[in-house]
């Protein structure tokens, strides 16, 4: 400590440490579009809490839910420009930009959660994350929500019941093709507009998970729901690539560990939340029909053209992995 004057009112050492601590502080803005009491909303909160604990408060993940900062359409530019550092879009949002991601939106691609997990954790997940890199995005984790169900103001059991109806979709060509195959029209709109579009009659129906249907109160503006499990809605947790690469290794480790814990917890929770909200939803004024096995087969046959159209876009490597999943 030669040269330090200990008679000063503050210790230069302590002062330096404090300055350093301040300079070291890191803020990560995480924007998403759903409610806080959904699988994604709760996962982001958990992640933020874990990062705070693991970094002793040095890293702060600021969470912006409900699309208050950006919609699912504007969040990409915001991520790219560095206005935010993390997003967790639904796969369909990505499919609109990066065709390979359409694989996760193919109708009836996954029979159950086990199939989904295998796809995320295996070669499909790896190839999809690789496809993000040229877009300045770094894939960090896959988070579950659940299987999608149909809601409408008309009962829907058979493909012909879709005829002439307009369904709100996440803007994506594969979802557009799915509704076209059913004789309906897909209408791309941000998630935050769904309620209003249904209320005003601009669209007749929509597809979503139980959790999104319940927390957005879509039962107030829809008369019928068909439990169809025809598609899967999950999320890719993404960071701005440059931002990630510039982080010191210790910080990267903290983030990775926090994400790993969050993912394990949240993927269990997603099932429980959808289950619990399914119980609530059944108390609402919504007429619910569960597709029978025969009806499901008829839907699958009607949507087969989506595979024919998108397999070439997705590419043989990923399509082969999907086939192997079912083998």
Q: Compute the distance between CA of residue 245 and CA of residue 237 in angstroms, rounded to an integer.
A: 16
Shortest Cβ 92–ligand LMR spacing (Å)? 7
Provide the token pair at 107. 């109708």
**What SS3 class is residue 261?**
helix
What distance in Å separates the CA atoms of residue 281 and residue 290, rounded to the nearest whole number? 14
Say if CB 40 and CB 52 are below 8 A apart: no
Interface characters, 106-145, with ligand LMR (x: CB under 6 A): ---------------------------------------x
Least distance (Å) between residue 8 CB and ligand LMR: 55
Identity of the residue, 72 or 204, whose beta carbon is nearer to ligand LMR in the bound complex? 72
Largest CA distance in the chain: 87
d(CA 216, CA 214): 6
Of the pair 11, 200, the CB lying nearest ligand LMR is at 200
Place of tokens 């839907």: 299
The torsion of the CA quartet 133, 134, 136, 142, rounded to 10 degrees, works out to: -30
Sheet containing strand 86-87, edge to edge, reads: 59-64, 26-31, 86-87, 232-240, 137-147
In sign, the C-alpha dihedral spanning 13, 14, 19, 20 is positive
Which residues, listed in sequence order, are joined to residue 188 by a DSSP beta bridge? 169
Stretch that binds ligand LMR, among 9-17, 33-41, 52-60, 292-300 (CB under 6 A): 33-41
How many binding residues for ligand LMR (CB under 6 A)? Answer: 10
30 is an interface residue for ligand LMR by CB under 6 A: no
Q: Using the rule CB under 6 A, which residue among 79, 119, 170, 218 binds ligand LMR?
A: 170
Kindly state the tokens that stand for 301: 């046959």
- Residue from the set 29, 30, 33, 137 that interacts with ligand LMR by CB under 6 A: 33
Instruction: For Cα atoms 193, 170, 108, give the angle at the middle one, nearest 5 degrees.
Output: 135
What does the per-residue mask of binding to ligand LMR show for 65-104, with x meaning CB under 6 A? Answer: -------x-----------------x--------------
CB of residue 51 to ligand LMR, shortest distance in Å: 21
239 touches ligand LMR (CB under 6 A)? no
Tell which one of 31, 165, 178, 208 touches ligand LMR (CB under 6 A). 208
Burial of 204 by CB count in 10 Å (0-12 exposed, 13-18 middle, 19+ buried)?
Answer: buried
Specify whether the CB–CB gap between 128 and 139 falls below 8 A: yes
Q: Is 34 in the site for ligand LMR (CB under 6 A)?
A: yes
Region 259-318 residues binding ligand LMR, contact defined as CB under 6 A: none
165, 212, 240, 251: which one binds ligand LMR (CB under 6 A): 212
Residue among 191 and 214 whose Cβ is closer to ligand LMR? 191
Contact string (CB under 6 A) for ligand LMR, positions 182-201, x = contact: ---------x----------
Q: Which residues bind ligand LMR (CB under 6 A)?
A: 33-34, 40, 72, 90, 145, 170, 191, 208, 212
């Amino acid at each position: 400590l030669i040269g330090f004057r200990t008679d000063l009112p503050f210790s230069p050492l302590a002062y330096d440490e404090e300055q350093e601590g301040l300079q070291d502080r890191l803020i990560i803005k995480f924007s998403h579009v759903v409610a806080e009491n959904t699988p994604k909303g709760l996962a982001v909160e958990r992640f933020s809490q874990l990062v705070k604990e693991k970094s002793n408060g040095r890293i702060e993940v600021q969470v912006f839910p409900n699309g208050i900062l950006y919609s699912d359409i504007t969040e990409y530019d915001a991520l790219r420009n560095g206005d935010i550092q993390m997003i967790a879009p639904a796969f369909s949002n990505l499919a609109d930009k990066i065709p390979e991601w359409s694989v996760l939106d193919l109708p009836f691609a996954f029979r159950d959660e086990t199939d989904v997990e295998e796809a995320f954790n295996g070669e499909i997940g790896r190839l999809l994350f690789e496809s993000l890199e040229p877009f300045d995005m770094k894939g960090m984790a896959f988070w579950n929500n659940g299987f999608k169900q149909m809601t409408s103001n008309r009962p829907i059991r058979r493909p012909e019941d879709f005829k002439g109806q307009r369904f709100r979709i996440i803007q994506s060509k594969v979802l557009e093709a799915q509704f076209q195959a059913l004789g309906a029209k897909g209408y791309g709109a941000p998630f935050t507009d769904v309620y209003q579009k249904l209320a005003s009659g601009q669209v007749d129906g929509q597809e979503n998970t139980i959790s999104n249907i319940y927390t957005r109160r879509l039962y107030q503006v829809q008369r019928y729901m068909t439990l169809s499990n025809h598609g899967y809605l999950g999320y890719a947790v993404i960071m701005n690539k440059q931002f990630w690469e510039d982080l010191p290794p210790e910080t990267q480790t903290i983030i990775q560990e926090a994400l790993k814990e969050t993912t394990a917890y949240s993927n269990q929770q997603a099932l429980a939340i959808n289950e619990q909200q399914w119980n609530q939803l059944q108390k609402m004024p919504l007429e619910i029909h569960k597709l029978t096995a025969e009806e499901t087969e008829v839907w699958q046959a009607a949507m087969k053209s989506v595979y024919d159209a998108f397999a070439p876009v997705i590419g043989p490597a990923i399509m082969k992995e999907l086939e192997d999943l079912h083998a």
